[in-house]
Structures are given as C-alpha cells and as structure tokens.
C-alpha cells in the first residue's frame, strides 16, 4: 500500500486536481487497492470549501467527479499516516515541515521533483490557467508512478 497526500496552500485548486487525477490513473490501472490518496492545504483559509470551479470544470471534462471533496488542512498527525507528501510548490514544503516539526523520514517533496525538470506546479490562482496546472500535474504523476513502480 502506497499512501500519498498531495499538499498545496488552500486545498481547492492544485492538490485536489492532483488527488483526483491520480485516483483516476490508478483506477484505470486496476491498482486502486494499492493506493490511499488524499489532499490537504497548509493554510486554514479555504477550510471546508468545495473544489474551485476551475479545477472542477477541468476534471468534469475528463469525466472525473470531485463530489464530496471539501478543503482540509494538513495536520501534524498526518505525518505518520502517509508515505509521501507531494507538494505543489516549494513554500508548501516549508509550511509542511513547520506543521510536522521536521521531516525525519524524508517524506516531503515537490511533485515535480520526480521529473527531469524539478520546479513548482503552475499556480492557477492569479492566471486562471488550469490547463497549464493540469499539464504540470500529469507530468509529475507519470514520473511519480514510474518511480514507485521501480521500487516495488
Ligand atoms: P490552491 O490555490 O493552494 O491550489 O488550492 C489557492 C487557494 C487559495 C489561495 C491561493 C491559492 N488564497 O490566496 O487564498
């Protein structure tokens, strides 16, 4: 079982997009029983709010529903429950380490650090460009899946 928590700031745009895209990917691979997948935000700003319409619309176009997802905040107790905390950008890594009080097991990393071009995921908050966010996330998810498959 591989337990993955995606992390962004608000848990309404980027990390829910990654959560539901990876769920869809592992379902299509028939591997849903091998994964536990969730997402959360480092901030309490959007706590309890539904997924942003930009993410919701992009996923709906791909036949993916986000029904029942409401923003949650990353907690210190989450650290022992997951194997990977896949952050959308560097400041999420910094905030997650503050919440956890460190990262003794090296579980916290940016999603795009699994690629040959390590960088932050494009943030759609000010640009409204959810397509670019989608493309970055898919690149990261594909490289992440290759990395975990090689280590099994
Ligand atoms: P997310 O997007 O972190 O991808 O869910 C944002 C959500 C809220 C804010 C910024 C980005 N905000 O400034 O409140």
Per-residue pLDDT, 151: 74
Q: Does the annotation count 14 as an active-site position?
A: yes
Q: Does the annotation count 83 as an active-site position?
A: no
pLDDT bracket for residue 104 (50, 70, 90): very high
Of the candidates 71, 66, 65, 16, the one whose C-alpha atom is nearest the C-alpha of residue 43 is 71
- In the reported structure, the alpha carbon of residue 80 is separated from the centroid of ligand 1 by a whole-number distance in angstroms of 25
Q: Which residue has the tokens 């940016």?
A: 110
Q: What is the pLDDT of residues 11-34, one digit of tens each?
A: 999 999 999 999 999 999 999 999
Number of domains in the chain: 1
Extended strands (E) in the chain: 2-8, 35-41, 84-87, 108-110
Taking CA atoms only, the protein residue closest to ligand 1 atom 7 is 10
Judge whether 26 and 34 are in contact, CB under 8 Å.
Answer: yes
- In the reported structure, the alpha carbon of residue 12 is separated from the centroid of ligand 1 by a whole-number distance in angstroms of 7
CA-CA distance, 59 to 92, in Å (whole number)?
23
Quote the pTM value. Answer: 0.97
pLDDT bracket for residue 150 (50, 70, 90): confident
Residue 54 Cβ < 6 Å to ligand 1: no
> Which CATH number characterizes residue 16's domain?
3.40.50.2300
Full residue range of the structural domain in which residue 145 is found: 2-150
Residue 112 Cβ < 6 Å to ligand 1: no
Listed in sequence order, the residues at least 6 apart from 148 whose beta carbon sits closer than 8 Å to its beta carbon are 2
Per-residue pLDDT, 148: 94
CA-CA distance, 49 to 103, in Å (whole number)?
28
Torsion, CA 114, CA 92, CA 9, CA 18, rounded to 10: 10
- pLDDT at residue 152 tops 80: no
Q: What is the pLDDT of residues 61-102, one digit of tens each?
A: 999 999 999 999 999 999 999 999 999 999 999 999 999 999
Helix (H, G, I), strand (E, B) or coil at 40: strand
């Amino acid at each position: 079982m591989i337990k993955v928590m995606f992390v962004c700031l608000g848990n309404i745009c980027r990390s829910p997009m990654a959560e539901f895209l990876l769920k869809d990917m592992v379902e299509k691979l028939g591997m849903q029983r091998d994964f536990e997948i969730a997402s959360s935000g480092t901030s309490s700003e959007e706590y309890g709010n539904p997924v942003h319409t930009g993410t919701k619309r992009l996923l709906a176009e791909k036949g993916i529903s986000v029904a029942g997802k409401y923003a949650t905040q990353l907690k210190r107790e989450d650290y022992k429950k997951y194997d990977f905390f896949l952050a959308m950008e560097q400041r999420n890594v910094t905030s997650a380490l503050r919440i956890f009080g460190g990262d003794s097991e090296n579980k916290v990393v940016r999603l795009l650090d699994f690629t040959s071009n390590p960088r932050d995921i494009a943030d759609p908050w000010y640009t409204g460009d959810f397509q670019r966010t989608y493309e970055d996330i898919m690149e990261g998810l594909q490289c992440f899946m290759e990395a975990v498959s090689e280590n099994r």
